A and B are shown apart, each in its own frame.
Chain A
């Protein structure tokens, strides 16, 4: 019997986890040619108090803390994370810890959207005192409805590991889903990948709940078939204005005007300073940045910065923050800068004092997690000898004691560019 189209989603709700082809078991060819309808059926429908939109958010010390978040269509009364270091599957009573989510509430919705769309409810459970380099297994519970068993791995205190990085998943939703499959495939084949550093512009209009809910559902595709969740290190893009960004990632805004910058200690030797290119560069952000860089540089083997609008762009004009950020990056010898916004692939030569210099900073990125790509200006001096191109892609950062490798991995699975950085005298 065929269900009328408007009730079809109910059927999909019961098909949770029943997909024949989990994301990570696809070949490269199957990823590129994946059917969108099948992918949608792999996502969790937002209905009742069924936990959906699960995500792990990293900010601060990623080896000992994380926030587990999820959404429900209805408010519900009791929202619990059952977690522990032992894989006990769906048997929630066997988990070592049971933490009730302390932060719950409705996602903000505009009056215009509220006319034909219901908002949903966020649930955030920050976990602290975690053991570094350890798998944490968990099940989400909202009023007696459970998620499938999931887990994530905390960052180690030291040692080799990888991160994925990329930005601009704001439109091209089918391509966004395919890129999520690509990331899941990389994640499953390389267990040393710890998290995704997102460069911002998740969606087109930051105040649109309809767009955010779609991003959140699509993000589930990065979860591996064994339940491993790819944590997100968020950055705010120019399209991510409004309060939803903070409600999605459980982040504390720096000030009342929704500015956001934060520092992430991935391991004892790797730090990422995330900046806000929507905010004034000078003043509070400049002071904070200088303090962070001066504090982190001496103890970091690898010091990275991450922000949305490029300082050495391949498509647009440089961000207004360039004259403030670049001198500080150079003063404190940042190793690598992650940028988004241009919708292309970019790697600059090492830059110092406005010219190529082997001791300079390499700027990579520009965003290809689904958004339509643009043509970069290949004749720019800082791209000659670097790389400029276009196509959906994600970058993989491989950290080790002696090298930081930056690889650009295309949707199709091939590596299109690779560069190895040596640590500064450390």
Chain B
């Protein structure tokens, strides 16, 4: 519910832009840069009059309208996402557009998170959240290719999901390797939950190892499809998501829920690998049989 009250990064961005416009920020900066620092590149006309700041109450009203729209959009997106799970929806080709829109919306959320800044590594939000938005891309492709060959469909989906998992794992791996402060707290919390005390140095070493492991997994799945690797990624993705409520208590549940795709996509790839193998086996048998007949 906290996420719902705060609104998305998109809502925050537009609220912020509206605030800046309301207080005439651009001109204020240009004027003071010119007077105080002699910035020649700043062009402000001689007649510039700094507009009066609109009343705070008017401003709040606009901000609240933006936030209300942001919340409505989020609510619609969540409802649509659940509706799309229905089997009937999976048969409607035109509904792939809804998934594309959903993917676009999630990319925008990640993009604006980076633009808004203020959080460590927020500029990496698009690849870090690839499992969320690329899952929608995969579903759109799945519906669009419904009438095509099953093999092509499976290969395409597998590749999209592999790239999604790879991007997310590689980004998180980089953040872990760099010693992301939030990851440190997650490690401390996880070890504390099993009554094991670890030193700060151990945490840094473990994060380096985790970083190397995540980046390695991200690379391995680009070149080979091993069920064991996907299973490990699913377990690890699930544990990493669960470490949030373990370390932070109730407030971490929403974080864990947001990261369900970090577990879901590798487990899907685990089963898809089986399907792909079955498919290949069937294809090969058919080929052999045909050859024998000839």
Contact = CB atoms under 8 A, between A and B. Distances in A.
B56 A45 contact: no
Contact of A9 (B38, B60, B185): B38
A54 B67 CA distance: 40
B89 interface: no
B79 to A, nearest CB: 23
A37 interface: yes
A316 B29 contact: no
A316 B2 contact: yes
B25 interface: yes
Contacts of B53: 174-175
B60 A375 contact: yes
A363 to B, nearest CB: 16
A275 interface: no
B31 A45 contact: no
Contacts, number: 144
How would you classify the secondary structure of chain A's contact residues: helix, strand, loop or mixed? loop
B35 interface: yes
A372 interface: yes
Given A316-B6, A372-B23, A8 B35 contact: yes
Of listed A8, A175, A283, A316, residue having the most chain B CB within 10 A:
A283
Interface in A164-178: 171-175
A8 B34 contact: yes
| Residue of B2, B3, B16, B37 with most chain A CB atoms under a 10 A cut-off | B37
A315 B60 CA distance: 15
Given A12-B35, A172-B23, A238 B56 contact: no
Interface size class for chain A? 35 or more
B200 A40 contact: no
Interface in B107-121: 117-120
B259 to A, nearest CB: 15
B16 A173 contact: no
A9 B2 contact: no
B24 interface: yes
Given A280-B181, A282-B185, 11 more contacts: A5-B44, A8-B34, A45-B35, A46-B36, A172-B25, A174-B23, A213-B36, A278-B181, A323-B247, A372-B22, A375-B60
16 contacts: A8-B34, A8-B35, A9-B38, A40-B36, A46-B36, A171-B25, A174-B23, A210-B33, A238-B118, A257-B179, A280-B185, A315-B5, A322-B251, A323-B249, A372-B15, A372-B22
Interface of B: 2-3, 5-6, 15-16, 19-20, 22-25, 28-29, 31-41, 44-46, 50, 53, 56, 59-60, 63-64, 67, 117-120, 179, 181-182, 184-185, 188-189, 192, 199-200, 203, 247-249, 251, 254
Interface of A: 2, 5-6, 8-10, 12, 35-37, 40-41, 43-47, 73, 116-117, 171-175, 204-205, 210, 213-214, 217, 238-239, 241, 257, 278-284, 315-318, 320-324, 372-375, 377, 390-391
